[in-house]
Amino acid sequence: MIIQLHGRRHLLDVDLDIDIEEFTSHVLFGPSGSGKTTLLRVLAGLDPLDEGELRVDGKVWTQGSAIKVPARKRDIGLLFQDHALFPNMSVEENVAYGIPRAKRGDKRGIIQWALTQARAQGFTSRPVASLSGGEAQRIAFARALARQPRMLLLDEPLSALDTPTRESLRNDLRLLIHTSGIPTISVTHDRTEALVLADQVVVLINGTVHQIAHPSTVFEQPADAQVAAAVGVETASAGSIVRRTNGLAEVEVEGARVFAPEPSFSTNGVLVCVRAEDIALAKEQSVTSQRNQLMGVVTRISPHGSLMRVDIDAGWNIASFITRTALDELELRQGSTVVAAFKAPSVHLIPHD
Amino acid sequence: MIIQLHGRRHLLDVDLDIDIEEFTSHVLFGPSGSGKTTLLRVLAGLDPLDEGELRVDGKVWTQGSAIKVPARKRDIGLLFQDHALFPNMSVEENVAYGIPRAKRGDKRGIIQWALTQARAQGFTSRPVASLSGGEAQRIAFARALARQPRMLLLDEPLSALDTPTRESLRNDLRLLIHTSGIPTISVTHDRTEALVLADQVVVLINGTVHQIAHPSTVFEQPADAQVAAAVGVETASAGSIVRRTNGLAEVEVEGARVFAPEPSFSTNGVLVCVRAEDIALAKEQSVTSQRNQLMGVVTRISPHGSLMRVDIDAGWNIASFITRTALDELELRQGSTVVAAFKAPSVHLIPHD
Amino acid sequence: SADAASQDRVVRAAVASDLRFAFPEIIELVQEEHPDIDVRVTYGSSGQFMTQILNGAPFDLYLSADQAYPATVVDEGLASEGQLFRYARGRLVVWDPQGTLATPTIDDARNANTIAVANPRHAPYGRAAMEALISSGLLSVLEDRLVFGENVSQTAEFAQSGAADIALIALSLVISGPLANTGTWTEIPQDLFEPLDQGGVVLDEAQDFTAAQSVRDVLLSPRGQEILARYGFED
Amino acid sequence: MDIDALWLTLRLAALTTVILIALAIPIAAWLAFHRRFYTPVLEAIVALPLVLPPTVLGYYLLVALGSQSPLGQWWTSTFGSPLAFSFNGLLIASVISSLPFAVHPLLTAFTSVPTKLLQASTTLGAGWPRTIVKVALPLSRSGLATSAVLAFAHTVGEFGVILMVGGNIPGQTRTLSIDVYDSVQAFDYSSAASTSAFLLVFSLLVLTTTYTLNYRSSVPRQLASSYPQPVTVIQ
Amino acid sequence: MDIDALWLTLRLAALTTVILIALAIPIAAWLAFHRRFYTPVLEAIVALPLVLPPTVLGYYLLVALGSQSPLGQWWTSTFGSPLAFSFNGLLIASVISSLPFAVHPLLTAFTSVPTKLLQASTTLGAGWPRTIVKVALPLSRSGLATSAVLAFAHTVGEFGVILMVGGNIPGQTRTLSIDVYDSVQAFDYSSAASTSAFLLVFSLLVLTTTYTLNYRSSVPRQLASSYPQPVTVIQ
Ligand SMILES: Nc1ncnc2c1ncn2[C@@H]1O[C@H](COP(=O)(O)OP(=O)(O)OP(=O)(O)O)[C@@H](O)[C@H]1O
Ligand SMILES: Nc1ncnc2c1ncn2[C@@H]1O[C@H](COP(=O)(O)OP(=O)(O)OP(=O)(O)O)[C@@H](O)[C@H]1O
Ligand SMILES: [Mg+2]
Ligand SMILES: [Mg+2]
């Protein structure tokens, strides 16, 4: 299925061409308010466009303000960001609601299957009003799934869940998408979720598509400064290329000099990005394959999930993630001197200014 | 302010005594459906108890099904999990709604301050219906805050936000709680959030309080098997203590033997917990301070946030988080042989069976 | 009515509906004889007027479609016995609004599907119509073809709208006013029912008692009675 | 009391309510969910039967249903009996005169069903009818109950239109409300009072039952246990 | 057409609507938000004025307000003029007879305000009055509009109660609907038709305006631009 969306809606203004069968699992990634929900709603046929059109497999689904194929004929399973469960029905009735007539014969089986996939067995006959936030989210997912639609649109499907449930559901979801083969577009804010789920990530910022790429590419080689900010590259500073030799670029960034692979573009103004997990810390400089070794002072140590984040002023302010064990071994504390080491390929240059 | 809640409500059944002034920032942590929202609603006076009572500073606030101090007199700022913004008002009107009469003189200033704290400037006069999920969450936070209440109850205040916004808002929130001194109870699923925000974590599972402790204690030394599961200890298996010598316990777990600090309890059936980030990987066994060195085979490698998760079968199935750099250096892939090394103090024993 | 404002002698009259077409001419006569008197009329059901008068309705002169209601008003102490008067006798007709019969008689009711009469429980013409049907031995035959109007006017509307075939109503309605040239009618002999004597009373609380009496006097005067006769009343 | 009238009133009110609800659901749904620039005009038009005095509305209906009208003639030739002065005629008239009460509260309720839920229904493949029956209507229980209660009560109390179109025929078109009206007009106050009291008590029972059932079933069964105490939403 | 009657009708309908809305808001709020086991009975009681035929209701009101009643006597001795047959009496009567139409739609609308928003209001320190005025009422615009529209239209069209309590006194208590009723009774169909047409067109304008304003302001300004096209919620 090829989705071609060229149009505007509120803040959204996209030119998007994606094949959701080539990459069964797409993730829509972007900061809050960037238009992700709006995009899903346009795809689902709930919102018209202010201008432009949406084609699916060449067929016009929406043309400007005219919705040519109504939502109910699009055969899409949409998980609403705020769930939108029917409060007048039980959990089971909610899940059963969208099962097509043809499949009603095996209704019980399908409901069971969908609830199992959503890890939501055990509250089948409960009234919806009594569900907790996370329970409601799983039911909403089961309801979208039970239709066995030809496309799933999931708006933050796991945001209300606790970490262990989320992790296992995330893996199940990936498996489900690939075994069922139902093309899926999921919205997420969570990096791990994007990495686990996505075959391809679409980065949406401020209403426009900034990058469409493999998840690791997006997180390691963001296409521009906004993407770098959106995916949370911890260190991204303006610098300029001072020399290009042997496929290497020498970049001056704030008070420091670093080496990076020579970029394909010719401008010298660049944004220098390094992910905190690619920066190793050591007590002293040593002879390794790591091109860049900057001496600096620890300015802050803070927890970051299961890791510790160490901020270092090495002329240039950089951040590094290290394990607690490493932290103990290095006996780091605020004010310690430390060497930040990272390979040239970890440095990603983005044209800037 | 001392909160004493002894009572039942739906699934919730707690005996909770906490001083929210001694520890200004409490985090309520627990899996989906464990009763976190119910607990906050009881505190806020929106739900009665089925049985029992709630006292604050010795004064009875709720006695069984009778709400003695009504919600509006409790002077609490509650952020609802689903925001509950007034759709008939603009953003600004929502935020202004709860500002007490006495402070109305400086209304504009307070609104501005609350919106700034919530990172929600820029959409002041927007109708609420046009807000995105994350925008709505921030406004809901600003609305609770603008009251400058004597207690803040935040039900998943950051769940709808993208990672960079969440990270900075999380830090701001911590700062805010401590500078303003408003005692705060926040609900979260996110471990980093709990670590950053909490002075004390209350772990709620299946309606009962399982542990009240400093955040790092909760995550590193969960009180029981359920807490271990809830905080997502990656490796937690049943084993039994075979020997206790010199303050060390030797434990047999599945096919392996590991050393742990001798526990204070005397039963020998234990749950052996090790956090994945505490397990280092090496090519070969070496002489280090690390007591436990288990040889095993890599069964799976998967991304985990900015790290990689490596599952190892060393007789006992254990998981380790390592950086991508380390993964490359060790040239690990599925089937590789590897040594998992971890210090005895990283092993946490919980009485079991 | 610019000069009506300059007149200060107001008479508020509650007048039975069957006088609706005749009474305006009476007013003209009052104007002629007492230019300073302004008569303000309300037409309606005699019974309802009585209820209202008993509860303090601001009327000076009450012209009923029967004699019992004014007597009750006197009994209740709102008017003196001496103020009671009889001013006309109503006449009953059989009316064929379609005009298919040249001279419809009460016996023609046998061929009608629906016969409209006023409600005998409270409308004087309804009571008279029922008596006429009983006296002519038709009631048992027609009983289930009768429909009952709230008053004579509504009874006429039943027929006029085409919903009822014939109606037993007041002569005054079919020889004057908008129905004058619609359909055909014949009078029902007066010996078939109790006389429809109509009485009135001047109320004690009248704003301008003498003016109200003047209006009554005009009504009872030969010229007044002549007008009533033209509109289908006997004296 | 008149048992025939009671029975007739009951039948009329019940049937009118059922028909009105059946009509009101699609009309209200259309007005609520299919908004065009002219929708407010249609909403206003639905309220118009209220604006005409019942007797006048009744007169126009009588003309429309009477034996002279095309509809009346067609009805008579098809069903063998006239529409005016019959139960069916009454039914049509009271459906029309109570239409606003059935449509408007339901319309209000439909309007407050969250749009997102309707959209969720359509993305789940449901068309108009299913969405209305399964989602909009259950979430509008309170509006539906109000519609039914107002339609029922108004039909019980209506007499202007019913008197005009029905002709007050005992056992056929004489409802309790006409009976009370007649008693009042005939100064039979004790009978009026007892029938009125009966009407009030009886209606109170019916309406209370409706509201109680509606309230009961609007609180999901499993939640009901959490409301053993009085429910005060705002303290 | 009778300009006095038009003016009177307008004043009466407008004042009745204003008073009713002012009464209906607290009554409906109390019924909706303060539920007890007896609440359904109260809901039913509010609907009861509908169950009595207007004339009968009017009769009881007349007795209650008239010169024989304690209330009527007190009023006369206090204000110097009687309550019955005055504009004030009419106003009281039409407020009572239209009460159900004002309360019930608003009650329906209040019932569908999400509980969570009311709770949000209370946690923000607002008491009953503020919560109702600032949250419940704005979210019940559509119910409020329906209440106002039904109350207005019903007052315009009401004549049974008004005729009984007001006495059809020209310039004082003769409303347009009584005027139309009078015209029909006088077989003056052309005048009845033109006044009816005027009533209908006039009411249509008032009601359409109400609905349009209500609809406009219920769509937030900034969102309105997203609805240049007809809004069909369900395709
Ligand atoms: N009807 C509207 N009128 C004006 N602006 C709107 C409207 N609807 C949405 N927007 C704006 O469009 C932007 C995109 O909203 P959208 O809900 O698509 O964001 P999102 O990417 O889903 O964000 P989140 O992650 O916070 O849910 C937001 O800034 C929002 O305020
Ligand atoms: N009215 C009710 N009747 C029965 N059970 C209820 C009711 N309300 C809540 N529950 C149940 O109580 C449990 C706790 O709900 P609660 O909303 O407090 O969970 P939570 O910890 O906030 O979960 P989440 O993180 O998913 O929001 C859930 O299993 C829920 O289904
Ligand atoms: Mg969104
Ligand atoms: Mg919750």
More confident residue, B59 or A123: B59
Which residues of chain E does A65 touch, with a Cβ-Cβ cutoff of 8 Å? 228-229
What is the model's pLDDT at position A209?
A: 96
Which residues of chain D does E192 touch, with a Cβ-Cβ cutoff of 8 Å? 56, 59
* Rounded distance between C-alpha atoms, residue D89 and residue D163, angstroms: 11
Q: Does C161 touch chain E (CB under 8 A)?
A: no
* Rounded distance between C-alpha atoms, residue A4 and residue A193, angstroms: 25
Residue C5 has pLDDT above 50, yes or no: no
Q: Does A10 touch chain E (CB under 8 A)?
A: yes
Pick from D226, D228, D235: which is nearest to B71 by CB?
A: D235
Testing ligand 1's pocket by substitution, the residue of A5, A9, A10 carrying the most ligand atoms inside 8 A of its CB is A10
State the distance from the centre of ligand 2 to the C-alpha of B82, rounded, in angstroms: 14
Hey, are the CB atoms on D66 and C163 less than 8 Å from each other?
yes
Residue-wise pLDDT for D153-192, tens only, equals 999 988 888 888 888 888 888 888 888 888 888 888 888 8
Measured in whole angstroms, the distance separating CA A309 from the mean position of its chain's CA atoms is 21
Q: Which residue of E has its CA nearest to D195?
A: E52
CA distances (Å), A252 to each of A244, A260, A270, A271, A349, in order?
12, 11, 10, 11, 12
Mean pLDDT value of segment A22-41: 94
What is the model's pLDDT at position A288?
A: 64
Residue-wise pLDDT for C148-200, tens only, equals 988 888 899 888 888 888 999 999 989 888 888 888 999 999 999 999 999 99
Which residues of chain E does D178 touch, with a Cβ-Cβ cutoff of 8 Å? 53
More confident residue, A152 or C18: A152
**Band of residue D51 on the pLDDT scale cut at 50, 70, 90:** confident
State the distance from the centre of ligand 1 to the C-alpha of B135, rounded, in angstroms: 8
Mean pLDDT value of segment C2-16: 72
What is the sign of the dihedral through the CA atoms of C222, C189, C91 and C69?
A: positive
D and E: touch, per 3+ CB pairs < 8 A? yes
Query: How many Å is the maximal CA-CA distance in chain D?
Result: 64
Separation in Å, CA of A69 to nearest CA in chain E:
9
Residue D223 has pLDDT above 60, yes or no: no
Q: CB of A65 within 8 A of CB of E226?
A: no
Check: CATH 2.40.50.100 for A233-351?
Answer: yes
Separation in Å, CA of E181 to nearest CA in chain C:
10
Amino acid symbol at C193: F
| 3-state DSSP assignment of residue D51 | coil
Which residues of chain E does A42 touch, with a Cβ-Cβ cutoff of 8 Å? none
The full DSSP string for D148-209 is HHHHHHHHHH--HHHHHHH---TTTT--HHHHHHHHHHTT-HHHHHHHHHHHHHHHHHHHHH
**The residue to which tokens 């925000």 are assigned:** B197
Please state the pTM of the whole predicted model.
Answer: 0.88
Ligand 2 pocket check for A135: Cβ under 6 Å: yes
**Band of residue E218 on the pLDDT scale cut at 50, 70, 90:** low
**How buried is residue E4: exposed, middle or buried, by Cβ count under 10 Å (0-12/13-18/19+)?**
middle
Q: CB of B52 within 8 A of CB of B211?
A: no
Hey, are the CB atoms on D235 and B65 less than 8 Å from each other?
no
Residues 171-210 of chain C with CB under 8 A from chain E are 173, 177-179
What is the model's pLDDT at position D235?
A: 45
Residue-wise pLDDT for E89-115, tens only, equals 999 999 999 999 999 999 999 988 888
Pick from E48, E113, E156: which is nearest to D200 by CB?
A: E48
**The residue to which tokens 């209601």 are assigned:** C69
Tokens read off for E190: 């052309």
Residue B132 Cα: closest atom of ligand 1: 17
* Rounded distance between C-alpha atoms, residue D24 and residue D104, angstroms: 8
* Rounded distance between C-alpha atoms, residue C14 and residue B344, angstroms: 110
Q: Does C146 touch chain D (CB under 8 A)?
A: yes
Question: pLDDT > 70: what percent of chain D?
Answer: 91
Separation in Å, CA of C140 to nearest CA in chain E:
30
Chains in touch with B (3+ beta-carbon pairs under 8 Å) read A, D, E
* Angular region, A35: left φ>0, alpha ψ -120 to 50, beta rest: left
Angle, helices E141-157/D39-47, rounded to nearest 10 degrees: 40
What is the model's pLDDT at position E105?
A: 92
- Residue B255's CB is within 10 A of a number of other CB atoms, namely 12
Ligand 2, atom 24, lies closest to the CA of B32
- Residue A185's CB is within 10 A of a number of other CB atoms, namely 24
State the distance from the centre of ligand 4 to the C-alpha of B157, rounded, in angstroms: 11
Residues 6+ apart with CB under 8 A from E132: E25, E29, E33
Hey, are the CB atoms on D229 and B67 less than 8 Å from each other?
no
Hey, are the CB atoms on A80 and D117 less than 8 Å from each other?
no
- Dihedral angle over CA of E160, E164, E165, E166, nearest 10: 90
Q: Does A100 touch chain D (CB under 8 A)?
A: yes
Q: CB of A160 within 8 A of CB of B159?
A: yes
Q: For residue A134, how many C-alpha atoms fall within 13 Å in the half-sphere facing its CB?
A: 26
Hey, are the CB atoms on E235 and A48 less than 8 Å from each other?
no
Residues in chain B where the model's pLDDT stays below 50? none
Measured in whole angstroms, the distance separating CA D197 from the mean position of its chain's CA atoms is 22
Residue E234 has pLDDT above 80, yes or no: no
| Architecture of the domain whose range is A2-224 | 3-Layer(aba) Sandwich (3.40)
Query: How many Å is the maximal CA-CA distance in chain A?
Result: 71
Tokens read off for B249: 């316990």
What is the sign of the dihedral through the CA atoms of C95, C98, C104 and C110?
A: negative
Ligand 1 pocket check for B337: Cβ under 6 Å: no
Q: Mind spelling out the 3-state secondary structure of chain A?
A: CEEEEEEEECCEEEEEEEECCCCCEEEEECCCCCCHHHHHHHHHCCCCCCEEEEEECCEEEEECCEECCCHHHCCEEEECCCCCCCCCCEHHHHHHHCCCHHHHHHHHHHHHHHHHHCCCCCCCCCEHHHCCHHHHHHHHHHHHHHCCCCEEEEECCCCCCCHHHHHHHHHHHHHHHHHHCCCEEEEECCHHHHHHHCCEEEEEECCEEEEEECHHHHHHCCCCHHHHHHCCCCEEEEEEEEEEECCEEEEEECCEEEEEECCCCCCCEEEEEECHHHCEEECCCCCCCCCEEEEEEEEEEEEECCEEEEEEEECEEEEEEECHHHHHHHCCCCCCEEEEEECHHHCEEEECC
Testing ligand 2's pocket by substitution, the residue of B34, B50, B210 carrying the most ligand atoms inside 8 A of its CB is B34
Separation in Å, CA of C154 to nearest CA in chain E:
7
* Rounded distance between C-alpha atoms, residue B308 and residue B324, angstroms: 6
Q: What are phi and psi of A322, to 5 degrees?
A: -135, 160
State the distance from the centre of ligand 4 to the C-alpha of B39, rounded, in angstroms: 9
**Cβ pairs A/B, distance under 8 A:** 145
The full DSSP string for B193-224 is HHHHH-SEEEEEETTEEEEEE-HHHHHHS-SS
**Band of residue A252 on the pLDDT scale cut at 50, 70, 90:** very high
Which residues of chain A does E226 touch, with a Cβ-Cβ cutoff of 8 Å? 10
What is the model's pLDDT at position A102?
A: 81
State the distance from the centre of ligand 2 to the C-alpha of D117, rounded, in angstroms: 22
Buried b (16+ CB within 10 A) or exposed e, E202-217: bbbebbbebbbebbee
Tokens read off for E107: 């009650």
Ligand 1 pocket check for A235: Cβ under 6 Å: no
Which residues of chain B does D229 touch, with a Cβ-Cβ cutoff of 8 Å? 48, 65
What is the model's pLDDT at position D216?
A: 67
Residue D77 has pLDDT above 70, yes or no: yes
Q: Where in chain A is the domain with CATH 2.40.50.100?
A: 233-351
* E113 sits in which H/E element: none
What is the model's pLDDT at position E222?
A: 36
Residues 6+ apart with CB under 8 A from A331: none
Q: Does D64 touch chain C (CB under 8 A)?
A: no
What is the model's pLDDT at position B254?
A: 87
Q: What are phi and psi of B314, to 5 degrees?
A: -120, 50
Q: Where in chain A is the domain with CATH 3.40.50.300?
A: 2-224
What domains can be seen in chain D, in order of their start residue?
Answer: 3-217 (1.10.3720.10)
Hey, are the CB atoms on B65 and D228 less than 8 Å from each other?
yes
Chains in touch with A (3+ beta-carbon pairs under 8 Å) read B, D, E
Residue-wise pLDDT for B112-136, tens only, equals 999 999 988 888 888 888 899 999 9
Pick from A78, A86, A130: which is nearest to D123 by CB?
A: A78
Pairing of strands B316-322, B337-342: unpaired
Residue-wise pLDDT for A256-297, tens only, equals 899 998 888 888 999 898 888 888 888 887 766 677 889 999
Ligand 1, atom 7, lies closest to the CA of B130
Tokens read off for E215: 């609809």
Testing ligand 1's pocket by substitution, the residue of B90, B124, B130, B166 carrying the most ligand atoms inside 8 A of its CB is B130
Q: What are phi and psi of C53, to 5 degrees?
A: -65, -40
* Rounded distance between C-alpha atoms, residue A349 and residue A262, angstroms: 9
What is the model's pLDDT at position C211?
A: 95
- Residue E47's CB is within 10 A of a number of other CB atoms, namely 27
Buried b (16+ CB within 10 A) or exposed e, B267-306: ebebbbbbbbbbbbbeeeeeeeebbbbbebebeebebbbb
Q: Does A132 touch chain B (CB under 8 A)?
A: yes
Residues 36-55 of chain D with CB under 8 A from chain B are none
- Residue C24's CB is within 10 A of a number of other CB atoms, namely 14
Residues in chain C: 235
State the distance from the centre of ligand 4 to the C-alpha of B78, rounded, in angstroms: 13
Residue-wise pLDDT for E181-211, tens only, equals 888 888 888 888 998 898 899 889 988 888 8
**How buried is residue D38: exposed, middle or buried, by Cβ count under 10 Å (0-12/13-18/19+)?**
exposed
Pick from D226, D229, D235: which is nearest to B70 by CB?
A: D235
Of A274, A236, A246, the C-alpha closest to A352 is A236
Mean pLDDT value of segment A236-249: 89
Residue A316 has pLDDT above 70, yes or no: yes
What is the model's pLDDT at position D232?
A: 52
Ligand 2, atom 7, lies closest to the CA of A130
What is the model's pLDDT at position B99?
A: 92
